[in-house]
Amino acid sequence: MRKTMTLSIILAAALGCSALALAGPGGPGFGPGGHGHHGGFDQFRGLNLTDAQKTQVKQIEQQSFSSLKTQFQAVRQDRQALETLAPNSSGYQAAAATLAQAEASLVSARITAQAANTAQIYTSVLTSAQQTQYTANKAAFQARMQQWQQFKAEHPVTSTSSSQQ
């Protein structure tokens, strides 16, 4: 039971840190100055966007980030509330559950918003030639990822733990 609780706390903290990293200005793939990273695929690189298109992309991302800002702040407050409690205090588990729910809600909203941003940029900002290039870039990225997965499967990493010595 103690291991499960400890693992839950560690997972909640890890999720919290990832949300905070995204909450900062210019966080990867989201927010003002974001670079549009999407799972490692820099989706608009190589499309030769004009300055006007870059401005449109930035505006779309800033508007979306602004709409989620209150959720980022709520998660930060929930995390701070949990951190102020001692692990044996009566409200500790409830605070952890509240934080976990807030984190889950934020992740869902962020992913949905990013998908909406991508769709809006694809249909409203990119030219048909850029849309074709976007599709080709994405397919090439997915092929590279497949090759990497195959390589990892063929060359597994061996661990060197103290029990093997």
Q: Give 67-94 pLDDT, tens digit per residue.
A: 999 999 999 999 999 999 999 999 999 9
Q: How far apart are CA 49 and CA 124, in angstroms?
A: 13
State residue 43's pLDDT score. Answer: 79
Query: Which whole number is the average pLDDT over 27-45?
Result: 51
Say which residue, 2 or 133, is predicted with more confidence: 133
The DSSP result for 55-112, as a single string, is HHHHHHHHHHHHHHHHHHHHHHHHHHHHHHS-TTSTTHHHHHHHHHHHHHHHHHHHHH
**Taking 70 as the threshold, does the pLDDT of residue 7 lie above it?**
no
State residue 157's pLDDT score. Answer: 85
Q: Give 102-127 pLDDT, tens digit per residue.
A: 999 999 999 999 999 999 999 999 99
Share of the chain above pLDDT 90, in %: 62
Query: Which whole number is the average pLDDT over 153-161?
Result: 81
pTM of the model: 0.63
Domain ranges of the chain: 2-154
Q: Do 106 and 70 form a contact (C-beta atoms < 8 A)?
A: no
Query: Which whole number is the average pLDDT over 37-57?
Result: 77
